[in-house]
């Protein structure tokens, strides 16, 4: 996904490696390229044909798939030819054009991961507002547009105009890397934008989700312990019941004024018709001091308790799935990006000589792998996308069978 060509900071071009090494690397990249193109094209296709997928969160997944598809269909094939030839043979102008497209695409892919992480964060910490805004897809388009514009503004001007501004070029013939990668400060800036800052933001979102889920677990336990419904007829002035309905406390006293009477009426709406009748009987019996109807209303109390327990349990289960999905994001992003980023930092502290060029190239090629695995980490593991793919494959099998 997000190669960003940082791997080619090394001064040694690919022609410094043996033909066998270049062939092995090319095969690896070709497999990654095929997976990126096939996986992401399927994600895009399913999104287009299935209207149920068109929510704000799924548009962010679509944007990630588009970024990774462009990586696999445009930038990676050119890079594979660069590796096979051992040097750049397409001219300086095309080199600049390729880099000016590649870097923004890859950085936009990184930003897409951050946006998806933020979306997962909101779905847990602000669940009610999040659900209400899922149909407002314009917000997703605004976020995606900002990510693309920012990506182009960060890299394209520097790639296109660096040598023009300084008045000379430091890139040797046969190599295609940006001019600014011979500048230490811009290298650190690029590495921070591509990895360290996004990784820190994703970690922040994940930690908040983790603490929120733990807090809800404690609240759920307290809720179950506190709201075991008991109906007492020992005192005619005693409280009738105290329950939690969709997270809001409903408290009823046996002595009701006008305001309390209205609250009582509202609470009835949470019950089904059978339970409503039982509840009315309970209220009437309590008002006249008759306790004989109380045993029959315990079933109504039990229904309320079970419904609310199920409500909290389903939310907790959903939050756990969101946390696991975000954990996959962090793991994949870290595995694919941290090797090269750490090599780049180490390189600066040993006068550029302690790391062999092959390690830079190997770590750089590993960055491309993120574009190949993202379709399986995000959309294909997303329940809505998974269902859409299942329906698509089943329909094809039925059509083949009927023909």
For residues 75-96, average pLDDT: 91
For residue 386, pLDDT over 50 is answered with: yes
Residue 117 has pLDDT above 70, yes or no: yes
- pLDDT digit string, tens, across residues 281-290: 545 554 554 4
99 has a pLDDT exceeding 80: yes
Please enumerate in sequence order all residues whose Cβ is within 8 A of that of 338, keeping only pairs 6 or more positions apart, or say none. Answer: 195
Q: Which of 85-89, 314-318, 339-343 holds the top average pLDDT?
A: 85-89
pTM strictly above 0.75: no
Cα distances (Å, whole numbers) of residue 361 to 6, 13, 22, 109, 352 = 9, 10, 10, 21, 15
Q: Is the dihedral of CA 196, 200, 202, 203 positive or negative?
A: positive
Positions of E strands within 72-142: none
Cβ atoms of residues 355 and 20 within 8 Å: no
The residues pairing with 387 across neighbouring beta strands, listed in sequence order, are none
Q: What pLDDT is attached to residue 395?
A: 62
Q: Which two tokens stand for residue 246?
A: 């969709």
pLDDT at 230: 43
Specify the pLDDT at position 17.
79
How many other C-beta atoms are found inside a 10 Å radius of the C-beta of residue 140? 23
CA-based torsion, 248, 251, 257, 263: positive or negative: positive
Q: What is the mean pLDDT of residues 201-230?
A: 74
- The full set of domains in the chain, from first to last, is 6-220+316-402 (1.20.1070.10), 227-311 (no CATH)
pLDDT in tens, 230-263: 434 333 333 444 443 333 344 444 444 445 544 4
Identify the pLDDT of residue 279: 47
Percent of the chain with pLDDT over 90: 24
| Overall average pLDDT of the 279-304 stretch | 48
Alpha-carbon distance of 352 to 343, in angstroms, equals 10
Distance from C-alpha of 333 to C-alpha of 2, rounded to nearest angstrom: 9
Tokens of 177: 């890397």
pLDDT of residue 226: 58
**Per-residue pLDDT averaged across 164-189, rounded?**
86
Q: Who wins on pLDDT, 287 or 147?
A: 147
């Amino acid at each position: 996904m997000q190669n960003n060509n940082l791997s080619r900071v090394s001064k040694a071009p690919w022609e410094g490696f043996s033909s066998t090494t270049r062939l092995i690397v090319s095969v690896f990249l070709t497999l990654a390229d095929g997976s990126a193109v096939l996986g992401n094209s399927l994600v895009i296709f399913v999104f287009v044909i299935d209207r149920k997928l068109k929510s704000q969160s799924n548009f962010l997944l679509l944007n990630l798939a588009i970024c990774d598809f462009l990586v696999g269909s445009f930038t990676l094939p050119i890079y594979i030819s660069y590796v096979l030839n051992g040097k750049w043979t397409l001219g300086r102008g095309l080199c600049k054009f390729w880099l000016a497209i590649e870097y923004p695409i890859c950085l936009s892919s990184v930003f897409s991961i951050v946006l998806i992480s933020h979306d997962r964060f909101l779905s847990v910490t602000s669940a009610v507002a999040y659900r209400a805004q899922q149909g407002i897809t314009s917000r997703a388009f605004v976020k995606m547009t900002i990510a693309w514009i920012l990506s182009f503004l960060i890299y394209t001007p520097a790639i296109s105009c660096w040598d023009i501004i300084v008045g000379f070029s430091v890139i040797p013939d046969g190599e295609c890397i940006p001019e600014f990668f011979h500048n230490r400060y811009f290298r650190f800036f690029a590495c921070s934008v591509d990895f360290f800052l996004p990784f820190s933001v994703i970690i922040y979102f994940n930690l908040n989700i983790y603490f929120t889920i733990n807090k809800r677990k404690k609240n759920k336990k307290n809720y179950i312990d506190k709201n075991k419904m008991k109906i007492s007829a020992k005192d005619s002035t005693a409280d009738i019941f105290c329950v939690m309905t969709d997270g809001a406390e409903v408290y009823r006293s046996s002595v009701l004024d006008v305001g309390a009477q209205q609250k009582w009426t509202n609470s009835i709406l949470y019950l089904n018709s059978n339970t409503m009748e039982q509840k009315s009987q309970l209220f009437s019996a309590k008002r006249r001091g008759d306790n004989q109807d109380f045993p029959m209303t315990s079933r109504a109390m039990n229904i309320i308790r079970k419904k609310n327990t199920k409500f909290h349990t389903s939310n907790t289960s959903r939050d756990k799935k969101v946390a696991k999905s975000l954990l996959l994001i962090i793991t994949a992003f870290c595995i694919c990006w941290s090797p090269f980023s750490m090599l780049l930092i180490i390189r600066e502290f040993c006068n550029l000589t302690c790391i062999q060029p092959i390690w830079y190239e190997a770590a750089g090629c590993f960055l491309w792998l993120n574009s190949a695995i993202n379709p399986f980490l995000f959309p294909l593991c997303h329940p809505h996308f998974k269902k859409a793919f299942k329906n698509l494959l089943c329909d094809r099998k039925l059509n083949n069978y009927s023909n």
